[in-house]
Structures are given as C-alpha cells and as structure tokens.
Amino acid sequence: MNRSRGSVDDRPRPETRLDTLASPADLQRLPAAALPGLADEIRAQLVSRVTRTGGHLGPNLGVVELTIALHRVFSSPRDVIVWDTGHQAYVHKMLTGRLDRFDTLRQASGLSGYPSRAESEHDVIENSHASTALSYADGLAKGFQLTGSLERRVVAVVGDGAMTGGMCWEALNNIAAAPDRPVVIVLNDNGRSYEPTVGSLAVQLRALRTGTAWGNVFEQLGLAYLGPVDGHDTMALETALRTAALLQHPVVVHCITRKGAGHTPAELDEADHLHTVNPTPTAAMSQAHGPAWTDVFGDELVAIAGERTDVVAVTAAMMRPTGLFPLACRYPERVYDVGIAEQHAVTSAVGLAAAGLHPVVAIYSTFLNRAFDQVLMDAALHRAPITFVLDRAGITGPDGPSHHGMWDLALFGLVPGMRVAAPRDAQQLRVLLRACIAHEVGPTMLRFPRGRSGVGIRARGTVGAAELLTEGRSKVLLVPVGPLAGAALEASRRLRELGIRATVVDPRWINPVDPELLRYAGEHRLVVTIEDSALPGGFGDALARALRRTTSRPQLITLGLPGDFIAAGERADLLHAHGLDAEGITEAVVAGV
C-alpha cells in the first residue's frame, strides 16, 4: 500500500516503511529489527517537511523513539495518550494515518500543529498550552473508573519544562492520592522547554538522571517510579512502558531524550532557534518591512534599563521569544525566568513592585489569559506599577485558535485601573513602552502582533493622547487599533477616490477611552473602529459604551474578530477574511454612509 502523495514539486518518492503504516496496529506488527530504520525515516520526513511548512522541529525530533514505543505498547484510541504540550505530537500524527497531509502542516484548512479532534480519533484532547496534560489525565482516569471502562489506560506525556507549571503539581497531588486509579506519566526529560528548565525541579531531575539523588520526589508523593530510561532506545522504552502498563497504580516513567535528536543542527542549537522553524519564505514574506516588533521591544527595554536601575523583567520560560534575551545578557541579575508558570509570574511581579521595583512582565498574549485572576486581584487590586508586554497580540497565523492573541482586550479591559496601549509602528512602540514604565500608579499593558513592524506612520496632529494620521476634517472617522493604522490609511485613500473623505486617528491608548477622543468621535457622522481582537468586550465595545454616556450619537461600525475560535492561516489572509484590511474597511464605510 502506497499512501505517499509525493513532495511539493510533485516528484514521487520511493515507498518507505512509514508509508505502509495506516494505524498503530500496523506499527505493532513490525519486527523490532525494523524500528531503527523507521525512526530514521520519520526524522527524514520531519526535517524535509517541517522546514518547508514551518513548525516545531526540535521537540518532535526528540520524541521519535518514544512515540514509536508508546504506540507499540498502548492501543490508541482505546488507550488515551495525551501530549503536553501538543506541539510534540507530529510523530504521533504520522503514526496515526496523517503522513500524507504533512505538506499542509499549519496552513489554512491543513494539518494542525497540535492535536486536533477534527483530524483523528487518536487526538482526544487539543492541548496547546503547557502543563495541562496531567489534569486531563486525572479527569479521564476518574471518568473511566466511574463508567467501568477499566480496560482503558491513560497515558500523559509531559516534558520537564511543562513540569515547571503549577497545574502539573495540582494534578499530581490528586493522581498520587488515588492509588487504585492508574495513570502512566511519561516524563520526557530533555532539560529544556524553549530555554533550559529552571528552578529546583531541574536540579532534582538532573540528580535522578545522574544517580546522585538523595531521594525521589515522585516516590515521596506516592507514585511509582521507573527509570531513568534512554529515550532513544526503543526496546528499553517498550520494556519500561510495558511494566508501567501492568501496574495498577499511578507511575512515572522517566525518559531521557535530546531535543533535536538525529539532526545535528538541531542538537547543537543551544539558542533553540530550531525549536520552531519558519516556513520557506514566500514573496509576501520577503516584502515585509521594518524590524520585528519583538526586536524593537527588546532593544528599547535595554535602553530604559540603562537609565532606570529599578526596571526588572519577568518571563515564563520564553526569554528569547519575548525579546528579553538582550536584557538578560546586559543585566542578568535583573531578569527572572520563572518557568511555564504565568500565574506565579504575575504575582511574583507584584512582590517585586512592592519591594520598590518596576517589573516588565513579557508574555505572549494568549498565555497571559491563564493569569487573569492574578492580574485582576493581585496586580490591579494593589495598584501595582507593573508593565505587561503582550507579544503575539491579535492574529498570529499558523499556530491556530489557541494562539491567536485575540482575547486580551476583552479580558484585561475589565481590570480596574489598567491602561492599555497599542503602537502602530516601531517608533510608537518605543514611545509607548516608556510611557507605560513611567506610569507608577497602577498596571499598564502594551500589545503588539507577531512579525515585522512595517513602515513608520507620521502624525499630522493630536486629539488628546490620540494622534491624527490624516489632515482636514470629514464626516467619517476611522479609528484603527495599533498596526491596523496602515490599512485604515489605505482605505481613506480609496474612499477619497470614491468621493468620500475619511479622517484616520490612532488612539494609541485604547483602555480607558480618552475623553478627548470620545469628544472628537462625537463630531462625526460615522465612526468605524478597527481591531484584530474579539469584538465582544473589545475597543469598539468600549467606545460604544462611552458614547452612550454622552449626548453624541454618531453611527458606529465596529470591525474586528468574532467571539469564536479562528483557525490557522496567514495573518494577511485572516485579516482579509474578517474585513480588517483596506478593502474590507472601504466596503464597510461605503455600506454605512
């Protein structure tokens, strides 16, 4: 049986062992002697395909033998395998009948970069945020026990990086307390997430790996422990996993793996550039302008820290991706990586603020959602002077619904005293970052998207804290959030050609709504807000609420994202699909005037 669809240039490739595997049952029938060759084929496919499409390369190269062993010992989907995080599930997808879709990885309508229930019965949980798998496993095991499905086993594959998250320990507290409810916890220990694993746990795991531990934290909790096992020895893994499967109580199987194993550039990649690789550049990518938003933030923060010794930074296991690496190189004692622990990051920052410092908490927009209570009840309640910097705000693209940073305005716009800024270009990022850090009577937030910052846009005047981007007056006002200012300006040009004059104003501060901007909006017949965030609770909603408290009643059109999950796709394509480019804005105005 040949399930190959060829490469992207349509040239057929020879059939391999991997091509013959339509399901885990086929894998279980392979002789042991064939497994090293299969592992080589899988790695070749990962390198070939993921470097074309983009995706998580290093984590998946590290779990090839482990995934093979899991699917030979356990019978998915009867036995449930949960991955933490789900970006290490590419090999799992290949072994469950999805090899022929890998040329569509992380593309619109293509193969998801994470487990996806819509794709396969082998994907039970769609977990793309870390430190969740053990909680899922605890609930699954409870459910199977309650419904009498005792033949079904629950396996959670969790990385040592994910184990730095508090949810893992909350789950372990419950799993270990039920010795009659077996859960197999496969600890994939490669010593890092994006960065080397931090904290005391890393020290404990290193001692277990080297045989120098005085005790075993897992056994002390009441869990059985097997290992450490060479995570690249399929037969040793199978032996350990079969032993674990026979136990009738919770067990940890400690597997030692190498991130990027089998691909020399990835194995030697200490900076972790091959954790995620970008797709082969397209014409659109090569035309992108300006420095990356993340780089601008990182550079400006170093400059500010050189001027203010009270500025410190906090991140949750993402030093390089959030732009804090330059600061860590310059002032290592002023940067704190707390592991995959966003809740702890926020409340620890409140403690730093209480000690007289100004913390800058740099976290992806989608991940700060996990710490809403801490932002509300710890940071805001104490009026703590903390600056939250949200990278990857708005549409992020190929990582799909769990990673679009489209909820932050709705969530954090609720927080009393929170001031939120959105820069339109690189220069405004520098200006607004300084303004956020200068604010000392409560928390501030700065949000910007993934990618490059584009061309600079000059202000033509001011309206309170907002800036006019066009000259003259009109009856139509376009109010774009952040970098959507460029699309709004292009829309105003197209409207002028249609005989409709439109003014463009950049609010810069989008929460709370500036009273001067509110007054100015009330002088127009039609006001159009434009944001790549969820409309319910977004900037448009905030402006509408504020206008209802005035005597002004302009017609208001709010353009943004629906309050639903949005699939993967290129940022430009998704903005177009939701009417957030020049064409969509123009059509909305024409329909509204």
Question: Is the Cα dihedral 239, 245, 246, 251 positive or negative?
Answer: positive
From 370, 447, 452, 508, active-site residue: 370
Long-range contacts of 325-328 (CB under 8 A, 24+ apart): 325/298, 326/298, 326/299, 326/301, 326/302, 327/298, 327/301, 327/302
Per-residue pLDDT band for 284 (boundaries 50, 70, 90) equals low
pLDDT tens-place string over residues 514-528 = 999 999 999 999 999
What would the two tokens of residue 559 be? Answer: 């353009």
* Residue 310 pLDDT class (50, 70, 90 cuts): very high
pLDDT digits (tens, 9 = 90+) for 565-581: 999 899 999 999 999 99
530, pLDDT greater than 50? yes
Residue in 49, 181, 192, 259 annotated catalytic:
259
Range 18-267 has CATH code 3.40.50.970: yes
pLDDT of residue 4: 35
- Asked if pLDDT for residue 11 goes beyond 80, the answer is no
Tens of pLDDT along 87-110? 999 999 999 999 999 999 998 889
- Cα–Cα distance list, 126 to 30, 66, 120, 133, 193 (Å): 29, 20, 11, 10, 19
Query: Where is the binding site, in residues?
Result: 87, 128-130, 160-162, 190, 263, 342
| The pLDDT of residue 3 | 36
Q: What is the pLDDT of residues 382-436, one digit of tens each?
A: 999 999 999 999 999 888 888 999 999 999 999 999 999 999 999 999 999 999 9
pLDDT greater than 70 at residue 6: no
Q: Report the share of the chain in percent with pLDDT over 70.
A: 95
Q: Provide the H-helix boundaries in 153-278.
A: 166-175, 200-210, 217-221, 234-246, 264-267
Collapsed DSSP state (helix, strand, coil) of residue 559: strand
CA distance 513 to 17: 61
What is the per-residue pLDDT for 289? 86
Angle subtended at Cα 375 by Cα 370 and Cα 379, rounded to the nearest 5 degrees: 150
Residue with tokens 């240039």: 9
Q: pTM of the full predicted structure?
A: 0.89
For residue 562, the 8-state DSSP code is: -
Q: How is domain 461-592 classified at the CATH fold level?
A: Rossmann fold (3.40.50)
Average pLDDT over residues 151-177: 94
Beta carbons within 8 Å of 532's beta carbon, 6+ residues apart? 394, 395, 406, 449, 481, 484, 560, 561, 575, 578, 580
pLDDT band at 359 (very low <50, low <70, confident <90, very high): very high
* Annotation marks residue 3 as catalytic: no
Render 356-417 in DSSP notation, one character per residue: T-EEEEEEEHHHHGGGHHIIIIIIITTT---EEEEETBB---TT-TTT-B-SHHHHHTTSTT
Q: Distance between CA 391 and CA 16 in Å, rounded?
A: 41
Q: Which of 145-149, 218-222, 399-403 has the lowest mean pLDDT?
A: 399-403
Residue located via tokens 């693209």: 397
Which pLDDT value is given to residue 7? Answer: 39
Give me the torsion for CA of 410, 416, 418, 420, rounded to 10°. Answer: 30
370 is catalytic: yes
CA-CA distance, 434 to 332, in Å (whole number)? 21
Cβ-in-10-Å burial (0-12, 13-18, 19+) of 559 comes to buried
Is pLDDT of 270 > 70?
A: no
Name the pairing type of β-strands 276-277 and 55-56: antiparallel
Cβ of 217: how many Cβ atoms within 10 Å? 17
Q: Is the pLDDT of residue 160 over 80?
A: yes
Identical fold at 18-267 and 461-592?
Answer: yes
In this predicted structure, the answer to whether residue 10 has a pLDDT above a threshold of 90 is no
Annotation marks residue 98 as catalytic: no
Q: Which of 65, 342, 467, 531 is catalytic?
A: 342
Neighbouring CB atoms inside 10 A of 203's CB total 11
The ranges assigned to domains in the chain are 18-267, 293-447, 461-592
What is the helix (H) or strand (E) element at residue 43, kind and residue range? helix 35-53
Maximum distance among all alpha carbons in the chain? Answer: 80
Res. 334: pLDDT tops 70: yes
Instruction: Look at residue 280 in the predicted model and tell me its pLDDT.
Output: 67
- The one-character DSSP state at 94 is I
Contacts with 66 (C-beta within 8 Å, 6 or more apart), sequence order: 157, 186, 188, 231, 237, 255, 257
If one looks up domain 293-447 in CATH, what number appears? Answer: 3.40.50.970
Q: Reduced to 3 states, what is the DSSP secondary structure of residue 542?
A: helix
pLDDT of residue 312: 98
Model confidence band, residue 250 (pLDDT cutoffs 50, 70, 90): very high
Q: Angle, to 10 degrees, between the axis of helix 293-307 and the axis of helix 426-438?
A: 40
Predicted confidence (pLDDT) at residue 2 exceeds the cutoff of 50: no
> Tokens 């949005």 belong to which residue?
566
- pLDDT recorded at residue 285: 56
User: How many whole angstroms separate alpha carbon 179 and alpha carbon 427?
Assistant: 58
For all residues of the chain together, what is the average pLDDT?
A: 92
CA proximity to 381, closest of 411, 406, 417, 349? 417
Please enumerate, by residue number, every residue annotated as part of a binding site for Mg(2+): 160, 190
* Banded model confidence at residue 197, pLDDT cuts 50, 70, 90: confident
Q: What is each CA distance from 250 to 221, 253, 423, in whole angstroms? A: 11, 10, 50
Binding residue ranges for thiamine diphosphate = 87, 128-130, 161-162, 190, 263, 342
Least confident piece of the model among 15-24, 330-339, 427-436: 15-24
CA dist list (Å): 582 to 423, 455, 506? 19, 16, 16
**267-275 mean pLDDT:** 66
Over residues 465-485, the mean pLDDT reads: 96
Q: Residue 1: is its pLDDT beyond 90?
A: no
Across the beta sheet with 444-447, the strand order is: 335-337, 311-315, 358-364, 387-391, 444-447, 419-421, 509-511
Tell me the CA distances in angstroms from 6 to 250, 278, 322, one per residue in order. Answer: 43, 22, 37
Which whole number is the average pLDDT over 483-509? 98
Grade residue 196 by pLDDT with cuts at 50, 70 and 90.
Answer: confident
Strands 502-506 and 466-468: antiparallel
Q: Residue 73 pLDDT > 70, yes or no?
A: yes
